[in-house]
């Protein structure tokens, strides 16, 4: 199985901040990497697919980059609704695995 | 708008079989454009993919569950279901049914049900 790791596991940030979350795969997954946002008590929501492609309706302040084993999700200008947990997920090979999550909370 | 809704018991006894159903509206599970999946999340923990089904009946399972899991379609009702045998306390989780958009292999999980909490306890 491909193992996914994320760093940091949590971070505190202020409104308007730029936030960067890193995801690393245990082997190369090209750009088969998706990002999700999950708020407490809710189902996850896809933000980015194919490492850098925007999901319809997602604000442009969310951007993804990377390929191979290292990926980043950047949020530019943090908004109140962005405080949540973020997961990366590889779709390169079965079983499709998720990172452990990064929680973004209010400083 | 695509909507998914899980249904089934919230409490299962150890060693029993969990049976969940996902009702889909706004899309057809027979369209061939998507896979239909189950993902679970233990309380306070991360996400775990269980498996998915294509409308043809082809299934793809996480090997961690392969001996215990069955996902099957009911195209007449536009539903699909999950059966997980030999439940233990470690199977306590929120279970989500999810649409997987077939997108050149990137296949994001793009529509999720609200989830159903299943507790395994005697």
> Which residues from B are below 8 Å from A50, CB to CB?
103-104, 106
- pLDDT of A46-75, one tens digit each? 999 999 999 999 999 999 999 999 999 999
> Which residues from A are below 8 Å from B107, CB to CB?
91
- B96 and A43 within 8 Å at the Cβ level: the answer is yes
- A89 and B63 within 8 Å at the Cβ level: the answer is no
A103 forms beta bridges with A10, A85
Torsion of CA A16, A18, A22, A23, to 10 degrees: 50
- pLDDT of B59-82, one tens digit each? 999 999 978 999 999 999 999 999
- Quickly state the pLDDT bin for B119 (edges 50, 70, 90): very high
- A44 and B113 within 8 Å at the Cβ level: the answer is no
Name the burial class of residue B49, with classes exposed (0-12), middle (13-18) and buried (19+) by CB atoms within 10 angstroms of its CB: buried
Distance, in Å, from the CA atom of A51 to the CA atom of A68, rounded to the nearest integer, reads 10
Tokens representing B109 are 């999980």
Contact B30, B46 (CB under 8 A): no
- pLDDT of B82-113, one tens digit each? 999 999 999 999 999 999 999 888 999 999 99
User: How crowded is the C-beta side of A89, counted as CA atoms within 13 Å?
Assistant: 30
Phi, psi of B20 (to 5 degrees): -125, 150
What sign does the dihedral A76-A81-A82-A83 (CA atoms) show?
positive
């Amino acid at each position: 199985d491909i193992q996914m790791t994320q760093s940091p596991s949590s971070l505190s940030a202020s409104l308007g901040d730029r936030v960067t979350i890193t995801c690393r795969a245990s082997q190369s997954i090209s750009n088969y990497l998706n990002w999700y946002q999950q708020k407490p008590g809710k189902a996850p929501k896809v933000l980015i697919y194919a490492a850098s492609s925007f999901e319809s309706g997602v604000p442009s302040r969310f951007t993804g980059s990377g390929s191979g084993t290292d990926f980043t999700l950047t949020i530019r200008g943090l908004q109140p609704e962005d405080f949540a947990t973020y997961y990366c997920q590889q779709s390169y090979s079965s079983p499709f695995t998720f990172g452990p999550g990064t929680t973004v909370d209010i400083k | 708008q695509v909507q998914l809704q899980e249904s089934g018991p919230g409490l299962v006894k150890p060693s029993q079989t969990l049976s969940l159903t996902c009702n889909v509206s706004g899309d057809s599970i027979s369209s061939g454009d998507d896979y239909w999946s189950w993902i679970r999340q233990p309380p306070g923990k991360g996400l775990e993919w269980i498996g998915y089904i294509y409308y043809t009946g082809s299934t793809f399972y996480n090997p961690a569950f392969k001996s215990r899991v069955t996902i099957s379609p009911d195209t007449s009702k536009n539903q699909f279901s999950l059966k997980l045998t030999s439940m233990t306390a470690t199977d306590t989780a929120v279970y989500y049914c999810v649409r997987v958009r077939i997108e050149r292999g990137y296949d994001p999980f793009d529509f999720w049900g609200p989830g159903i909490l299943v507790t395994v306890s005697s």
